[in-house]
């Protein structure tokens, strides 16, 4: 039978996994047991909603067998099984994302990080076996099929024989090497220990035939071995155990197994609530974003159990979008088992739990921010965008819940600070919270508009994320202090005297300015100003849309043509002002050319494209050559 190739990314990944000397090979067992448990959950749930399937939950189990001589380890479940197509799609592809960064000569860390981006799952079994056979019969099909593979060079699928629904995974365990003894996966005591360590909480029995030494004759010290099927796990879900019975490591192992993460979670949040709706929850804040977090494919939600029985793998209604990165489990006896998922999501019970959980996560983050700023900053760098998005999403309805969780870069402290911290340090003469935006801190720092505000020794929040300004605009103010963009045309920082002076100049030269404005279609106004210290020109805005926001709108696929209302400001103290005045009188053609050049310069500073670079380049050279 011709072998089918793994999809190419999967193949490379598999190579990586097999050849990278990933230290913890043991985890393959928990991965396989966890898949088996999921299959049992799925079958049981189907039986609740499908009259044609009748199942007794007590019959559902996972079996482990080993054969030292044949070097075989077998894991069997009587769960939902897989059809031929499912074997193909589930076991023929690992990497669901097409954008993994493979490169030559990767370091061990890089390899582990790539593997870690989506969890190892079934493929981890290749760390310990050189041949794998999966025999499966789906609840939806009368035929059984066998999937077989020796690793990276491909797999075959053919018809098989299996009486009952479920899956049997047969691993041919590798021969021992100088570095590693694979025999441990064929040893009763070792297997028992591994199940206990990683899979104790699994809610179905994990059974194995175990040997008991029984004293036959006390005097002669004679023992007799007899075999007995034992259940290796306690079956108590980890969230039902008392907190002091569970170690940090247990929680971490549970998280890594259940949510396929190579890294420990950043935080574990447990709660047990008695009340109108009683429930237990076990939540995790991951330490890094899942590989698909910022894609359409990512699905938020918490696993929902009714007294230990899984009713929904990802109940989205339990989490607000801004906490969509949280993983975890909720178990409530007060939720009915056999109502439809749609009705369940509508239920007041779920709504109440969701509300409590939202508060609990928020409190945890607030505490982290206060007590461990370094950890919070690391969290914020990973998931802060989601919180900022939450501030302006849904017309800002959640902004008050989130305003104290967002951080921005402060020009004064040169690090991320909260709005509260900004306001507490405001100078007495300062009325507003100033911010400036651009694509990087360095670029913002170099903006002409920033100079004037920094001169007053006011702190400025430097916004570099595309969501930042939308977030600030939704907030409008913080503790009655308005947010003001330093690129706002009317900053109102000059003294009355200065204002008077500027007003007069602009009146005196109104014809000149009008003519400049007429020469540039896009600007609403051209004016002389005193706010610029050394720079000749800058672009400011009036109204709600800033230049940075316009850039975001421009990048949207369904761009609605929203534009910032821009003003070209010319530094009145710069010699270019006199030149303009002179040219206006003596050479109108030249005056127009200068106008174009100045406007283009202002656009470059603002990070905006120039439509006619060739023309502008020629104009500049002509002027230089004079």
13, 73, 82, 486: which one contacts ligand ADP (CB under 6 A)?
A: 82
Q: For ligand ADP, which is the closer residue by CB, 100 or 352? A: 100
| Phi-psi group of 484: left, alpha or beta (phi > 0 → left; psi -120 to 50 → alpha; rest → beta) | beta
Q: Binding of ligand ADP at residue 77 (CB under 6 A)?
A: yes
Shortest distance in whole angstroms from residue 171 CB to ligand ADP = 13
- Could you tell me the sign of the dihedral formed by the alpha carbons of 253, 259, 261, 264, in that order? negative
Size of the site for ligand ADP (CB under 6 A): 15
Ranges within 567-596 binding ligand ADP (CB under 6 A)? none
**Shortest spacing between CB 445 and ligand ADP, in angstroms:** 45
d(CA 310, CA 347): 17
Residue nearest to ligand ADP (CB): 121
Please give the residues from 157 up to 216 whose contact with ligand ADP meets the rule CB under 6 A. 167
Report the candidate in 540, 613, 537 with the shortest Cα–Cα distance to residue 580: 537
Torsion angles phi and psi, residue 70, rounded to 5: -85, -5
Helices vs. strands in the chain: H and E counts, helices first: 20, 22
Q: What is the Cα 251 distance to its own chain's centre?
A: 21
H-helix segments, 317-372? 341-346, 348-371
Q: Cite the DSSP H helix spans in 200-307.
A: 248-258
- Part of the chain binding ligand ADP (CB under 6 A), chosen from 49-57, 119-127, 482-490, 595-603: 119-127
Q: Which is nearer to ligand ADP, 31 or 488 (CB)?
A: 31
Q: Measure CA 613 to chain center.
A: 39
Asked if residue 7 binds ligand ADP (CB under 6 A), the reply is no
Cβ atoms within 10 Å of 58's Cβ, excluding its own: 8
Cα separation, 122 vs 308, in Å, equals 24
73 counts as binding ligand ADP under rule CB under 6 A = no
CA 430 – CA 481 distance, rounded (Å): 9
Q: Which is nearer to ligand ADP, 81 or 290 (CB)?
A: 81
Question: Could you give the residue ranges of the DSSP H alpha helices within 222-270?
Answer: 248-258
Among 75-83, 384-392, 425-433, 488-496, the segment contacting ligand ADP (CB under 6 A): 75-83
* Phi-psi label, residue 8: left if phi above 0, alpha if psi -120 to 50, beta otherwise: alpha
Instruction: Between 31 and 548, name the residue whose CB sits nearer to ligand ADP.
Output: 31
3-state secondary structure of 89: helix
Residue 63 binding ligand ADP, by CB under 6 A: no
With contacts defined by CB under 6 A, name the span among 32-40, 97-105, 248-256, 471-479 that binds ligand ADP.
32-40
E-assigned strand segments in 218-339: 222-231, 267-273, 279-285, 302-306, 309-315, 327-331
Q: Which of residues 86-105 bind ligand ADP (CB under 6 A)?
A: 90
Residue 4 CB, shortest distance to ligand ADP, in Å, is 16
Which range of residues in 33-41, 98-106, 465-473, 552-560 is near ligand ADP by CB under 6 A? 33-41
Q: Kindly state whether residue 116 participates in binding ligand ADP, applying the rule CB under 6 A.
A: no
Pick one of 22, 27, 30, 35: the residue that binds ligand ADP (CB under 6 A).
35
Q: Does 384 bind ligand ADP (CB under 6 A)?
A: no
Indicate the residue among 17 and 580 with the shorter CB distance to ligand ADP. Answer: 17
| Cβ pair 339, 306 in contact under 8 A | no
- When asked if residue 260 is in the footprint of ligand ADP (CB under 6 A), the reply is yes
> Which lies closer to ligand ADP via its Cβ, residue 119 or residue 265?
119
Site string for ligand ADP, 491-530 (x = CB under 6 A): ----------------------------------------
The answer to whether residues 74 and 168 touch, using CB atoms and an 8 Å cutoff, is: yes
Stretch that binds ligand ADP, among 35-43, 46-54, 186-194, 380-388 (CB under 6 A): 35-43
User: Is 121 among the residues that bind ligand ADP (CB under 6 A)?
Assistant: yes
At residue 502, the 3 state secondary structure works out as: helix
**Sequence-separated (6 or more) residues with CB below 8 Å from residue 32:** 75, 122, 125, 169
Q: How many Å apart are CA 44 and CA 38, to the nearest integer?
A: 10
CA dihedral 577, 578, 584, 586 (to 10 degrees): -150
Closest distance to ligand ADP from the beta carbon of 90 (Å): 3
Q: Is 437 in the site for ligand ADP (CB under 6 A)?
A: no
Judged by CB under 6 A, the stretch of 30-38, 271-279, 315-323, 598-606 that binds ligand ADP is 30-38
Binding residues for ligand ADP, per CB under 6 A? 31, 35-36, 39, 77, 79-82, 90, 119, 121-122, 167, 260
């Amino acid at each position: 039978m011709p072998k089918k190739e793994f999809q190419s990314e999967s193949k490379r990944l598999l190579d990586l996994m097999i050849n990278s000397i990933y230290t913890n090979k043991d985890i393959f067992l928990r991965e396989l047991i966890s898949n088996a448990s999921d299959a049992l959950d799925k079958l049981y749930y189907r039986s609740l909603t499908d009259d044609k399937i009748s199942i007794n939950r007590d019959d559902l189990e996972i079996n482990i067998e080993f054969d030292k001589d044949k070097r075989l380890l077998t894991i069997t479940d009587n769960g939902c099984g897989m059809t031929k197509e499912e074997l193909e799609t589930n076991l023929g592809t690992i990497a669901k994302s097409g954008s993994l960064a493979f490169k030559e000569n990767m370091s061990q860390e890089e390899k582990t990080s790539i593997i870690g981006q989506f969890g190892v799952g079934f493929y981890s079994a290749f760390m310990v076996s050189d041949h794998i056979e999966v025999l499966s019969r789906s609840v939806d099909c009368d035929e059984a099929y066998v999937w077989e593979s020796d690793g990276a060079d491909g797999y075959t699928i053919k018809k098989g024989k299996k009486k009952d629904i479920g899956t049997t995974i047969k691993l041919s365990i590798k021969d021992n090497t100088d570095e590693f003894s694979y025999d441990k996966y064929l040893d009763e005591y070792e297997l028992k220990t591994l199940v206990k360590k990683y899979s104790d909480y699994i809610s179905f029995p994990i059974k194995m035939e175990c040997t008991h030494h029984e004293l036959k004759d006390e005097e002669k010290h004679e023992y007799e071995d007899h075999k007995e099927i034992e259940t290796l796990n306690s079956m108590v879900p980890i969230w039902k155990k008392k907190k002091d019975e569970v170690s940090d490591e247990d929680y971490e192992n549970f998280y890594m197994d259940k949510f396929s993460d190579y890294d420990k979670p950043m935080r574990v949040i447990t709660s047990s609530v008695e009340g109108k709706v009683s429930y237990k929850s076990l939540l995790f804040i991951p330490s890094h974003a899942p590989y698909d977090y910022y894609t359409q494919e990512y699905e938020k939600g918490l696993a929902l159990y009714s007294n230990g029985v899984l009713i929904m793998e990802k109940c989205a209604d339990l989490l607000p979008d801004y906490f969509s990165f949280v993983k975890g489990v909720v178990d409530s006896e007060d939720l009915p088992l056999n109502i439809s998922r749609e009705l369940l999501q509508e239920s007041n019970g779920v709504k109440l739990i969701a509300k409590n959980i939202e508060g609990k996560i928020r409190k945890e983050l607030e505490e982290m921010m206060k007590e461990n700023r370094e950890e919070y900053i690391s969290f914020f760098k990973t998931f802060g965008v989601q919180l900022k998005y939450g501030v302006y999403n849904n017309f800002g309805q959640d902004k008050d819940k989130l305003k104290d969780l967002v951080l921005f870069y402060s020009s004064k402290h040169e690090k991320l600070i909260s709005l509260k911290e900004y306001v507490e340090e405001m100078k007495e003469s300062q009325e507003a919270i100033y911010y400036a935006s651009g694509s990087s801190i360095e670029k913002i720092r170099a903006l002409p508009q920033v100079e004037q505000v920094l001169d007053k020794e006011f702190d400025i929040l430097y916004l570099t994320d595309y969501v930042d300004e939308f977030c600030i605009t939704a907030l409008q103010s913080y503790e009655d202090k308005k947010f003001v963009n330093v690129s706002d045309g009317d900053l109102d920082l000059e003294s009355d005297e200065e204002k008077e002076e500027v007003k007069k100049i602009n009146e005196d030269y109104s014809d000149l300015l009008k003519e400049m404005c007429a020469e540039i279609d896009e600007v609403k106004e051209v004016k002389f100003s005193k706010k610029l210290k050394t720079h000749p020109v800058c672009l400011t805005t009036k109204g709600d849309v800033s230049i940075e926001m316009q850039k975001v709108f421009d990048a949207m696929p369904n761009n609605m043509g929203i534009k910032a209302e821009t003003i070209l400001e010319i530094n009145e103290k710069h010699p270019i002002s006199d030149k303009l005045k002179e040219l206006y009188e003596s050479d109108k053609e030249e005056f127009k050319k200068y106008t174009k050049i100045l406007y283009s310069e202002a656009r470059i500073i603002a990070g905006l494209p120039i439509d006619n670079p060739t023309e502008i380049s020629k104009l500049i050279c002509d002027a230089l050559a004079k």
